[in-house]
């Protein structure tokens, strides 16, 4: 069988090991060297160009149905749960606890739930909006597992490494948010990020008030491609007498975008986290579709 292997950045170090194994089994193996940040980004074009029979996509759960033979190989890590003990004093005043994690630890959710229940808590595990596959799982673009239980819980807990995943959930919720990172052996409250993001969004909207030329970002990655939304936003801008141009790329190069000197503000329809993680790599403001709505509303108010 002709197989294309695809690994996210953190797992590319294992690429040759898997390639050798599959070659020994008699397969013709290719490795995608393109950057891969999520299961939204399945290398279908590369596979079709190679005439591959199958893509083996490592590290992520299925994101959406794609019209190609794709095998998703989730990557699970058994993290040390003894760190949970240290979180108890921090959440002593909260009874109802919501728990979220990444796909790497979804198999540990049940043990985490039992730990908190044994310590007198009522535990809630929410459902994702649709891109994440498992209850309690969050993705950078699907924090439904936290947002869907926000009204019910007193506190949210994220279990896992890094800040990328929990911050998306922090922005979409209103309750105190604790992060437990078993790799860094660190437990921290993330609520200050929520306030910082709100202020930042306001600043970006205000600095777009006089923008005339808008560049709307559309990614050609299969799970990010949203040309319909881009067209709707373009129409809205043009109705207000503004100019809007749709800019398409697979992975956006921020230097190339910065070279488009005539663009006064960018609007993101690709991975929603570009607007939260990469806004400072652009010289002009980068808005999410919701921020654009806010900007148009503000402009109408000013005109009155």
Summarize as ranges the residues that interact with ligand SF4 (CB under 6 A).
37-40, 63, 139-141, 223-224, 271, 273
CA atoms within 13 A on the CB side of 193: 21
Shortest Å, Cβ 286 to ligand SF4: 15
Q: Which is nearer to ligand SF4, 133 or 234 (CB)?
A: 133
Q: How far is the CB of 128 from ligand SF4 (least distance, A)?
A: 11
Decide: helix, strand or coil at residue 155: strand
Please state whether beta strands 28-31 and 213-219 pair in parallel, antiparallel, or not at all (unpaired): unpaired
- Please tell me whether residue 112 adopts helix, strand or coil conformation: helix
Nearest residue (CB) to ligand SF4, 271 versus 291: 271
H or E element that contains 268: strand 265-268
> How distant, in Å, are the alpha carbons of 222, 258, 293 from that of 264?
28, 10, 16
The minimum distance between CB 141 and ligand SF4, in angstroms, equals 3
Q: Which is nearer to ligand SF4, 110 or 220 (CB)?
A: 220
Helical residues (DSSP H) of 77-120, grouped into ranges: 84-87, 109-118
d(CA 45, CA 49): 6
Q: Which of 37, 129 has the CB closer to ligand SF4?
A: 37
Q: Using DSSP, state whether 270 is helix, strand or coil.
A: coil
Contact 231, 244 (CB under 8 A): no
CB of 136 to ligand SF4, least distance (A): 17
- The DSSP call for residue 147 is H
Taking the complex as a whole, the smallest distance from the CB of residue 76 to ligand SF4 amounts, in Å, to 18
- Of 121 and 273, CB closest to ligand SF4: 273
* Nearest to ligand SF4 of 63, 124 (CB atom): 63
Cβ at position 299, least distance to ligand SF4 in Å: 29
Structure tokens at 267: 């609007």
Q: Which of 87, 85, 62 is nearest to 73 (CA)?
A: 62
Closest separation in Å from C-beta 264 to ligand SF4: 25
Question: For residues 87 and 226, which CB has a smaller minimum distance to ligand SF4 in the complex?
Answer: 226
Q: Which helix (H) or strand (E) holds 243?
A: strand 243-249
DSSP 248-304: EESS--HHHHHT-TT--EEEE-S-THHHHHSGGGSSS-EE-HHHHHHHHHHHHHHH-
């Amino acid at each position: 069988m002709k197989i294309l292997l695809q690994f996210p950045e953190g797992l590319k170090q294992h690429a040759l090991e898997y390639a050798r194994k599959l070659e020994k089994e008699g397969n013709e193996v290719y490795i995608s060297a393109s950057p891969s940040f999520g299961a939204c980004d399945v290398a279908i074009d590369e596979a079709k160009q190679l005439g591959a029979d199958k893509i083996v996509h490592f590290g992520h759960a299925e994101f959406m149905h794609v019209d190609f033979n794709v095998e998703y190989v989730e990557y699970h890590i058994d993290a040390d749960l003894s760190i949970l003990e240290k979180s108890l004093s921090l959440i002593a005043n909260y009874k109802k606890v919501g728990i979220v994690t990444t796909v790497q630890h979804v198999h540990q959710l049940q043990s985490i739930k039992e730990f908190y229940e044994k310590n007198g808590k009522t535990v809630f595990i929410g459902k994702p909006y649709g891109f994440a596959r498992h209850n309690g799982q969050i993705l950078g673009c699907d924090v439904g597992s936290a947002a869907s239980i926000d009204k019910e819980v007193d506190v949210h807990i994220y279990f896992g490494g890094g800040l990328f995943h929990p911050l998306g959930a922090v922005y979409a919720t209103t309750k105190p948010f604790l992060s437990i990172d078993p790799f860094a052996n660190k437990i921290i409250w993330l609520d200050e990020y929520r306030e910082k993001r709100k202020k930042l969004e306001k600043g970006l909207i205000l600095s777009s008030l006089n923008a005339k030329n808008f560049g709307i970002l559309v990614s050609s990655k299969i799970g990010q491609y949203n040309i319909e939304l881009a067209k709707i936003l373009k129409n809205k801008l043009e109705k207000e007498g503004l100019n809007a141009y749709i800019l398409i790329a697979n992975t956006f190069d921020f230097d190339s975008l910065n070279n488009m000197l005539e663009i006064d503000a960018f609007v993101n329809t690709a991975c929603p986290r570009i607007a939260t993680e990469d806004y400072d790599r652009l010289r002009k403001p980068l808005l999410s579709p919701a921020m654009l709505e806010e900007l148009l509303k503000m402009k109408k108010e000013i005109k009155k």
